Structure 1
């Protein structure tokens, strides 16, 4: 028999569960920090506004200047070329 040699299996199980919990807390904290740090679009709360989408598409070259001006005027609630 192995009486008196170490804390036994209940303590080993408890230590294993504590390590798993510690690792889970660390992963949760890192994910939370990355999302809240403002790392680009992922850190932002909410959705993009139509104006932000339009600006992004123009910046990426998906639309040209004329399409951008027309869409911006449409978003502002006025017809293009009326001002």
Structure 2
């Protein structure tokens, strides 16, 4: 499984960043464009995509890895 991908807000647009990377993979003008790029990377790496909203909180998370279906109960 590859690195989880994050879409985060920047002063000059939206960044796509791999988990624990110190630098962004790319910075684009729109959140929609950043999500498209991050989704493709997450699919290729069988990882997760997490999207930050304008308020700084994460608003969306999608997994493209090997999740059990149905999910296991965590007790």
TM-score w.r.t. the length of structure 2 is 0.23
Higher relative contact order (CA 8 A, sep 6+): 2
Tell me which protein shows more strand as a share of its residues.
Answer: 2
Tell me which protein shows more helix as a share of its residues.
Answer: 1
Say which one has the larger Rg.
Answer: 1
TM-score w.r.t. the length of structure 1 is 0.22
